[in-house]
Amino acid sequence: EDQVTQSPEALRLQEGESSSLNCSYTVSGLRGLFWYRQDPGKGPEFLFTLYSAGEEKEKERLKATLTKKESFLHITAPKPEDSATYLCAVGGGRRALTFGSGTRLQVQP
């Protein structure tokens, strides 16, 4: 059974204070590891897809990396508008996404 564990559950940063979110996973036949951002009352917003170990992708202040067992979402010099819940999901053999419980990020000015 595919499993995804995200840590920490919650993270509070000062504006400009860089940090990383962790996503550990077990999956049979990785079809992709996905990062989403979710704001309160809204659906998840797609950020990145990573397909193989060693792959990295960047978008503004966010950078996602992938190893065979985990993925990291690095946030460089965050701003208050980066406050959201960040969700990690894996697509495996069962042809559906398995999500982690998310990391609630709060960036204070």
Q: Which stretches of the chain bind other proteins, using CB under 8 A?
A: 31-32, 34, 36, 41-46, 49, 51, 87, 89, 91, 94-102
- In which element (H, E) is residue 106 found? strand 103-108
Q: Which is nearer to other proteins, 46 or 106 (CB)?
A: 46
Nearer to other proteins, 2 or 78 (CB): 2
| Min separation Cβ 104 and other proteins, Å | 12
Smallest gap, in angstroms, from Cβ of residue 108 to other proteins? 24
Q: β-pairing, 56-59 with 45-50?
A: unpaired
In whole angstroms, what is the distance from residue 53 CA to residue 71 CA?
A: 9
Taking the least distance from each CB to other proteins, the nearer of 31 and 63 is 31
To 5 degrees, how large is the angle CA 89–CA 15–CA 33? Answer: 10
> What is the closest distance, in whole angstroms, from the C-beta atom of residue 86 to other proteins in the complex?
13
Running DSSP on this structure, what letter comes out for residue 7? E
